[in-house]
Every structure is written in structure tokens, then in C-alpha cells.
Amino acid sequence: MTRNQMTKSLLSLFSSGGWLPSWSKSLTLIFILLLFSSSFAQDLPPEGRELKGLVYQELFENAREAIGKDSLPEAESILNTLLENFPGDADGQLMRGRVLAWQGKYPEAEKDLLEVTRNTPEYTDAWHALTDLYLWSNRLEEAKKCCEMCLKQEPDTPGFYIKYARILIGLRMYPKARQALLQGQALGADPLDVDPFLDEINRIQNPLTWESGIALDYQTFSSEKSDWFGMIQMIKRDFSNQTLVAEAAQYWRYDQTDQQISGEIYADAWQNAYWNARLSAAFQREFLPDFDFYGELYQGFAGKWEGAVAYRMMNFHDDHIHIPALALALYQGSYYLRYKYNYIIDSPHHKVFHLASVRYFYGSVDDYAEFSWGYGRDLDQISQGISGEDSHILTMKGQHLLHRQWIFQWMINLQVNTPEENQGGGRIGLFYRW
């Protein structure tokens, strides 16, 4: 029998081999692969090329079936056979890379997938598989770059934006993650895929469980009032749905010392909402309030907006100050813009205080700078036609990640009440996470 006759016979047998038992079909596959790998398998006739294509398709489908049965070692073995006989096949190498990654064999999988992206850089599925591999192995910077290739090649695929946001959240790049989520949503992503991630980035949590540190505070006055010096020690504990903070502080003024302890909580509420409450109590007090309570409820909406309602009550020896407030904020790119309206009830006086702030994130939420301006007026003097003494407060502050576990915070403030009474000062703090 000539080579062409043998090839035609095998083609006829393999093409109509649905009646063959699986063991017979496997033997036929092995024989054909041996035939094509032998020295006389050069310069195949058209029938031979067709038969070789059928063999490839059979191996590929067998690998798919093994994957469907969750028999990954079997699928790996079949794909090894396929690639031995069809070296450099992009689809086969991509599938083997996926199978290896599913088994946790990341170095072998990476080798396959990198080769596919080098040989066929336009193959989006290969970049997607490489993205998953790096995501599963917690190599988030590499995952980010690969996902950006997916977005570059298929910018209208909403799923890539959701995955990109997931990676950015892992890198604590929340502003960019929010942008990616909103883009994915605009392209038709399921809200059930988007909302959990928006929930996750509404309340900023630490990447590690604990944080503690110390801050120093200094304020000076243009009048005869004594300067103010303070030292604050803090410890913080993060849980999955809440954060607890405890502080102890000492303040020195007029040659006297006040001591204060505080407890604070940030906790998830319902969808896109969280709340914050803080209670401080002073003992050996001379100038601090006996008790100082603050509470605020935050509600996100429309993806990038946030509304809030707040209340503060300060209880001094012979006075009570109540401050209800409303706030509206917008996440815009790397900026967080916020306006807060405070109504101050210091009987018998009533004042309003407007506070506008702009926070810029350099990359992650651990690195930012913020500028705020506050303006206050006495309503009683306005209602009586008296030219009131307005107050202005300018504040600049920031936070910087010195190392993965070290955080530096700073603040500079200036308050102008009247030409005769101004206030200025600042704060620095160093904190450690573990």
C-alpha cells in the first residue's frame, strides 16, 4: 500500500469512526501521530493534512472534555501530547497554561502563557489568562500590566474593567478602581458585579490588621493666650466589617495638663453606606470638654457621589455645644471633593460654618495631600444688623507611605478670627502597621 493510499484509508476510518470504541479510537490516534512524526511524514498530501487536522481537533476536544470533568492532570497529559506533535500551537499552549495555572503550577503556566503573548501579542485571551495567573499568585503589578493589555485590545469588554478594578483594589488604588468600575458599568456590566467592589472601597480599611503610633500637636496664638502642646497615642484594629480605634492624649496649656481618652468606630451599614462614631472623655480637665461625642453616617450613590449627615455635642463644665451638619462629596478621578455645612448652637449664640476640602490621591489611598478652607459667621450678629467677626480656617495635611508598614502624617493650620486673635500650628505623626 502506498503512503497516499494509507493516508486515505486512515482518513476514511477516522472520519467515520463514531462507531469505534474509545480504546480503538485512541490506538488510531497514537498510530496516526507516530505516522506523522516518522521520517516519511514529510510533504504531506492534502488528504494527510486533513487527517492531521482531524487528529488535532480530536486531541483538543478530549482536553476540553477532561477539563469539563475537572480531570486536570488528564487534560494536561493530553495537551502535552498535542504540543509534542503540534509545537508552538497558540491555542494548545494557551489551554495548557490555563490548566497548569488551575493546578497551582504557576511557573510552568507562566512559561507557556508568556510564550503565547510573545508569539501572538494580539491574542487577548492569552493576556487574560496571564492576568488571572498573576492575580491568583498575588503578583498584582504584573496582573495590572496584563489587564491593561486586555483593555487596550478590547476596550468595550465590561468584564475586563471589573477585573482591572479588582486588581487596583488589591493595590489600594481606590480612585482608579472606582473609575474602572464606572466604565464597566457604563458598558453594561452587571450591577451585582460592580456594587460589591464599590462597597469595598467606600470605607477605607488598612491592608494589615493592626496600626499604632504617636502624634505631636502644637498651636500658638497671636493674643495673650497660652500656647497649646499635645501628644496623642493611638492603636487601631481592623476587622472585616468594622475598624476600632483607641486613643490616649495629653495636652499642656496655661501650665496645666489635661488628659483625654477616646474610642472610635467605623463600621459598614447597608449597601454603599457606613457610619462613624467617636466618644472622648477628659479627666484632670481644665480646658478640654468633659465629653465630646461625634457621629456621622455616609451614603454613597450614583457610583461617585457621597452624602452624609453628622452630629457633634461638646459638654463643658457649664456649657453644651451642639453641631448638626450635612455634607456632600464627589469622587472625581484622583480627587475627593467635599463640602460640609455646620450649624453651631452655643446657647444663646447660633453660628454657621462652611467647610470645603479637596483631597488628591497620588496613587494609593495611603498617599494623599489635602487642602481645606473653612468660613464661619455669627448668625445672631447678622440678624441684629451688626457687622460680625467672620472666622477663616486654612488647613493643609497629608499622609505618605514611607514603607509598606510605616505611615507619616502631617498637618499645618491657620485660623484668622480678628486682626488681634489668630491661631496657627501643626501636627506630625508616625504610625506602624502590622
pLDDT at 56: 78
Identify whether residues 139 and 217 lie together within a single domain.
no
Is the distance from CB of 116 to CB of 90 less than 8 angstroms?
Answer: yes
To the nearest 10°, the Cα dihedral for 60, 62, 68, 72? -90
Identify whether residues 130 and 197 lie together within a single domain.
yes
Identify whether residues 174 and 313 lie together within a single domain.
no
Average pLDDT over residues 226-235: 92
d(CA 208, CA 211) in angstroms, rounded, equals: 8
Q: Work out the number of other CB atoms within 10 angstroms of the CB of residue 147.
A: 27
d(CA 51, CA 57) in angstroms, rounded, equals: 10
Strand partners, 324: 311
pLDDT greater than 70 at residue 43: no
Average pLDDT over residues 13-29: 48
Is the distance from CB of 415 to CB of 423 less than 8 angstroms?
Answer: yes
Task: Tell me the pTM.
Answer: 0.82
Residue 264, class by beta-carbon neighbours within 10 Å (0-12 exposed, 13-18 middle, 19+ buried)?
middle
Identify whether residues 367 and 277 lie together within a single domain.
yes
Which residue, among 183, 152, 150, 149, has the nearest Cα to 165 in the 3D structure? 183
The mean pLDDT of the chain is 86
Is the distance from CB of 140 to CB of 167 less than 8 angstroms?
Answer: yes
Domain end among 182, 202, 222? 202
pLDDT at 299: 97
**CATH number for the domain including 240?**
2.40.160.40
Tell me the residue range of the domain where 426 lies.
210-433
Domain end among 202, 225, 242? 202
The H or E element that residue 96 is part of is helix 90-102
pLDDT at 38: 42
For 51-75, what is each residue's pLDDT tens digit? 455 677 888 888 888 898 888 999 9
Is the distance from CB of 425 to CB of 228 less than 8 angstroms?
Answer: yes
pLDDT at 53: 56
The H or E element that residue 382 is part of is helix 379-383
For 233-240, the CB contacts below 8 A with 24+ separation are: 234/431, 235/210, 235/211, 236/206, 236/210, 236/211, 236/212, 237/209, 237/210, 238/205, 238/206, 238/208, 238/209, 238/210, 238/211
For 260-313, what is each residue's pLDDT tens digit? 999 999 999 999 999 999 999 988 777 788 899 999 999 999 989 999 999 999
Identify whether residues 235 and 315 lie together within a single domain.
yes
Identify whether residues 45 and 173 lie together within a single domain.
yes
Average pLDDT over residues 323-333: 97
Q: Work out the number of other CB atoms within 10 angstroms of the CB of residue 365.
A: 21
DSSP assigned state of 348: T
Identify whether residues 42 and 130 lie together within a single domain.
yes
Q: Which residue has the cell 503512503?
A: 3
d(CA 220, CA 99) in angstroms, rounded, equals: 66
d(CA 89, CA 109) in angstroms, rounded, equals: 15
The number of domains in the chain is 2
**CATH number for the domain including 36?**
1.25.40.10
